[in-house]
Chains A and B, each alone.
Chain A
Amino acid sequence: MKLIRSDRKALYAFMAPALAVMILFFVIPVIYVIVVSFLKWNGISAPALNNLKNYALLMKDKSFSRSVINNIIWALVAGFIQVPLAMVMAIILSRKPKGWKFFRTVYFFPQVISGIALATLWRAIYNAEHGMLNGLLRAIGAGAAAKDWLGTIQTAFPAVLIYWVFYVGYYMVIMMADITTIDTSYYEAATIDGATDFQQAIYITIPLIKKTSLLTCVTLASVMGLRQFEQVYMLTNGQPANTTSTIVLYMYKKMQNANYGIASASAVILIIVGVVFIVCIRKLFEGRGDKPVVAKNVRRAVK
């Protein structure tokens, strides 16, 4: 549809405030970070041009490469384990089984607690001496398996990551909201054709939310995974031996050292990793997922 001149003016007028805010609070800071990434600056003295040295130092620093790898693992786990878990819960609860409201509240509840509080709670659970996890292991006679979960290289990162995977409430409610908008006639037709609940979920629900809430949740979860900070900071501060560090934590430590050049360079790398991730996710979700496909899927499924 072609826009007439007055429409265009209105369009620009509506876009202008958001665009101004975007430029002020996103574009300018990003440009600033990129500029600082080429400087040697302690935040106090006058900055000096450092060319690509900050990036060269980052490439040499093992703790930075470990942080990047950890973030990638985190984003993958978020996008491809946490969100599918949330999707399963959303599909089950949107069928409104007995007590669904209670379970919806229970699954969503951790989202209203601050990440810092949750991390503090889990720190206590993982405590090597008096933690609940080791206490439980000892109680069931598996005391030999008790260990310093956050102080052992093999277990620290999984320990930081694993509890968070199960906090699916946020993505679950987004997908539940989307599922409730699906026309019930699809399900009615599928039921008449003899499709089971599982088949309906696979061939109706998932294709119809794939390009909307599922894509949104995978993108959101991956981005959240890439910018992880408070959990790691509270639980391990990146230890032991930097094995649980993330890019944002690394950046924070460089700022503590008043090394704003390297901190900014690591922020630029984080932005690049984020962009690559989002592009990959978009590519992955490209393809057909619209209504005719659903109808065809259902027919194929019940044959």
Chain B
Amino acid sequence: MKKLFALILAVTMCLSLAAIAVPASADEIVINFPSIWVGTDSKAPYMAEMIEAFNAENAGSIKVVVEEQTDYQAYRDKIRTTITTGNAPDLCILDTTFDIKAFAESGKFMDLTPYLEDGWGENFTDGAFDAWSVDGKVSILPFEAAVFTPIYNTEILKAAGWDHFPATYDEFFKMAEDVKAAGYNVMGQMAGDNAWSSMLWYSLIAEAIGGKDVYEGGLSNPAFVEAAKVLKEMYNYTFDGAVSATASDVNGHFLARDTAIYLNGPWWIANFYKEDNAVDGVLLADVCEVATNPAYEGGKGDNGLVTTVQGFLAAAKQSDPAKEEAVVKFLKYISEPERVAQWALSSGAMFFVKYTPSPDTTLISQKVTEVSNNASYTILHVNGAFPTAFSTEFPAALSALILGEVDEQGFVDQLQLAIDMA
């Protein structure tokens, strides 16, 4: 018996070593790509399809190897560590929680400018690179876009006696009272984890109060104190335990149809169409409508739109020109307008690529696009407008605000202190 176990162990070890040591063919260029667009991410299926097709088309010469990471925070930690230690992966996805400007200035990433100027740049939306280029050079490529528009459950509003979404925040809180009286939560809020939903609401409220110039002067703009007051008020209309709640609580409540309003990026739209989330055969999408950010009485906001870069693509600087060409070839491949159109259709995500939306685009995606196109101006989501320290401190400052540990000014001061320390 011992011999049998020893044999099994030896065979297992040999197989493991063999799996690790599978060599690429001598001339094959391997592109290492740690990716977050995997697992349950709505972009994952089409991304996998594209990589498979690309590898098949370039069999023997280029191979993209995806290193899957499904947890956003773990992915960010990994990427931050590899870049800091000088081992940046061949290709990776960044978001606004990274100091994109510092990364772009670091010289650790490939300069994509010559390739973009050689015609590839035509594929991207006008001005897409303006905010992220350094000295006219683009090394971090804004790729996935996001706009944040409230989506509401028409049945819940109807049950509360409302046939339209409020146009102002005053009206919003009247509606909130009615929805609450009807036995529903008005919206999902969360101060736990990264307080993502509440941070989005904070951006929307700040935009409504401060308008397109809300970020001028940083957090000293009084709009942020006022917005904190409104956000705190919203916690009276959310579910129990919102202070420790996470995104899964917020999502779960909206899917359970006990919450009237949902706020998240367009990548979440695909979930509205999932059969799993249907109730009595009625898809969630069939009872949802897209709203615009309400106006604030006396505020400077005028039909503005909160947006962000949800995903940047960054490629490590290569010493081998052939590998650089291979990486660029792959980047061009996945940013081909036809493929991006298909990607947008399958995931609901939006991209900084000019493409003609498929006629099969979901109704909710079409409405989100319509709201975006009708916006007078766009401003960044707070987590992109302020340094990373803002986002890291936000949950602590918010929970302190909600629990009465600090007032609205104290909330803003706490965020400012975090920024100053960084």
A129 within 8 A of B: yes
- Mark interface residues in A116-151 (1 if CB within 8 Å of B CB, else 0): 000000000011110000000000000000001111
Q: How many residues of B contact A (CB 8 A)?
A: 42
Inter-subunit contact B399/A128 (CB<8 Å): no
**Contact pattern, B 226-266, Cβ under 8 Å of A = 1, otherwise 0:** 00000000000001111111000100000000000000000
CA distance A79 to B241 in the complex (A): 33
Interface centre among A253, A257, A259 (most CB of B within 10 A): A257
Which of B83, B108, B396 meets A239, CB within 8 Å?
B396
Q: Of the listed stretches B49-57, B96-104, B131-139, name the one at the interface; the rest are far from the partner chain.
A: B96-104
**Counting CB contacts under 8 A, is A42 at the interface?**
yes
Is the CB–CB distance between B395 and A237 below 8 Å? Answer: yes
The A145-182 residues at the B interface (CB cut-off 8 A) are 148-153, 156
Is B294 on the interface with A (CB-CB < 8 A)? Answer: no
Question: In chain A, residues 13-44, which have Cβ atoms closer than 8 Å to a Cβ of chain B?
Answer: 42-44
Tell me if B367 is interfacial: C-beta within 8 Å of chain A: no
Q: A44-B99, A240-B244, A257-B388 are in contact. List 5 more A-B contacts (CB 8 A).
A: A236-B244, A241-B396, A241-B397, A256-B77, A256-B388
Distance in angstroms from B393 CB to nearest chain A CB is 8
Does B16 sit at the interface, judged by CB under 8 A? Answer: no
- The answer to whether B106 and A129 have CB atoms under 8 Å apart is no
Report whether over half of chain A's contact residues are helix, strand or loop; otherwise say mixed. loop
Whether A151 contacts B241 by the Cβ 8 Å rule is yes
Measured in the bound complex, the distance between the Cα atoms of B248 and A127 in whole Å is 12
| B residues near A126, Cβ cutoff 8 Å | 244
The verdict on A238 contacting B396 (CB below 8 Å), with A151-B191, A151-B243, A258-B102 known, is yes
A179-212: CB near B (< 8 Å → 1, else 0) gives 0000000000000000000000000000000000
The residues of A that contact B244 with a CB separation of less than 8 Å are 126, 128, 148-151, 156, 236, 239-240
The answer on a CB contact under 8 Å between A44 and B399 is no
How many chain-A residues does the 8 Å CB contact rule pick out?
Answer: 34
In the bound complex, residues from chain B placing their C-beta under 8 Å from that of A245 are 396
What mask results when residues 179 to 196 of chain B are scored 1 for a CB within 8 Å of chain A, else 0? 000000000000111100
A237 with B399, Cβ < 8 A, contacts A129-B241, A258-B388 known: no
- Expressed in whole angstroms, the Cα–Cα distance for A260 and B81 within the complex equals 11
A 94-128 to B, binary, CB cutoff 8 A, 1 in contact else 0: 00000000000000000000000000000000111
Q: Which 7 A-B pairs have the closest CB atoms?
A: A128-B241, A151-B243, A151-B244, A240-B399, A43-B84, A241-B400, A150-B244
User: Is B130 at the interface (CB under 8 A from chain A)?
Assistant: no
Q: Please name all residues of chain A whose beta carbon is closer than 8 Å to the beta carbon of B240 when the two chains form the complex.
A: 128-129, 148
- The digit string for B90-112, where 1 denotes a CB below 8 A from any CB of A, is 00000001110011011010000
Any A CB within 8 A of the CB of B323: no
Min Cβ gap B79→A in Å is 12
The reply on A262 being an interface residue by CB < 8 A is: yes
Q: Is the CB of B387 within 8 A of A257?
A: yes
Among residues of A, the one whose C-beta sits closest to the C-beta of B99 is A258
Whether B76 sits at the interface, judged by CB under 8 Å, is yes
| Complex-state Cα separation, A57 to B80, whole angstroms | 24
A63 in contact (CB, < 8 A): yes
Residue B126 lies at the interface, judged by CB distance under 8 Å to chain A: no
In the bound complex, what is the Cα–Cα distance between A4 and B105 (angstroms)?
61
B243 to A148, Cβ gap below 8 A? yes
